[in-house]
């Protein structure tokens, strides 16, 4: 079976790739496009480590076929900082030490960014529910939640 040619936009750049019909977007990003910032955790949509934005919606890239990216816009963690300037969320995650091993971090950052784009004044409860699909086995979540709330507060006053 011949591979499927896909034309898509990733972090604002027009991108073309070939993939197998049963290959996930996560595998395409990591293994074909060398965008390994997106992590694989469970591979079944439970852990959120592979979170990316697809046409402006937060999704698990392990549950998206590479072929589905045709004509759509994908945003990954690689597109979050602007050059050497970190996104406010990335800065606050560092400040609050909201990570330890770091495998879940790209997914948390992408998911938290999606939240703040729709709600810049979330309550702690809203943050916790929004991020319920992102699992972290190190931090116990408190530092992550505080980093997100602190970022929101800073972005509101900016």
Q: Would you give the binding string for other proteins spanning residues 58-97, x where CB under 8 A is met?
A: xxx-xxxx-xx-x---------------------------
> Binding to other proteins by residue 132, rule CB under 8 A?
yes
Backbone angles phi, psi at 19, to 5 degrees: -145, 165
Nearest alpha carbon to residue 93 among 82, 76, 83, 106: 106
Pair of tokens at residue 51: 């979170």
Cα–Cα distance between 125 and 127 in angstroms, integer? 5
Q: How many residues bind other proteins (CB under 8 A)?
A: 36
Cβ proximity to other proteins: between 66 and 79 the closer is 66
Cβ proximity to other proteins: between 8 and 24 the closer is 24
Which of residues 8, 51, 76, 105 is near other proteins by CB under 8 A? 51
What residues contact 134, with CB distance under 8 A and at least 6 apart? 47, 48, 49, 51, 104, 107, 108, 111
Backbone angles phi, psi at 89, to 5 degrees: -65, -40
Cβ proximity to other proteins: between 52 and 99 the closer is 52
Give the interface with other proteins as residue ranges (CB under 8 A).
1, 4, 20-24, 27, 31, 43-46, 48, 51, 54, 57-60, 62-65, 67-68, 70, 111, 114-115, 129-134
């Amino acid at each position: 079976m011949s591979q499927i040619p896909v034309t898509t936009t990733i972090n604002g750049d027009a991108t073309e790739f070939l993939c197998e019909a049963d290959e996930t977007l996560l595998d395409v990003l990591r293994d074909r496009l060398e965008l390994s910032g997106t992590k694989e955790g469970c591979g079944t949509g439970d852990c959120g480590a592979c979170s990316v934005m697809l046409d402006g919606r937060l999704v698990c890239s392990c549950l998206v076929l590479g072929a589905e990216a045709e004509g759509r816009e994908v945003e990954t963690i690689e597109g979050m900082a602007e050059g050497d300037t970190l996104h406010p969320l990335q800065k606050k995650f560092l400040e609050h030490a909201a990570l330890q091993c770091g495998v879940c971090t790209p997914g948390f950052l992408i998911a938290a960014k999606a939240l703040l784009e729709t709600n810049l004044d979330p309550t702690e409860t809203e943050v916790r529910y929004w991020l319920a699909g992102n699992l972290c086995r190190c931090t116990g979540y408190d530092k992550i939640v505080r980093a997100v709330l602190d970022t929101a507060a800073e972005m509101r006053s900016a």
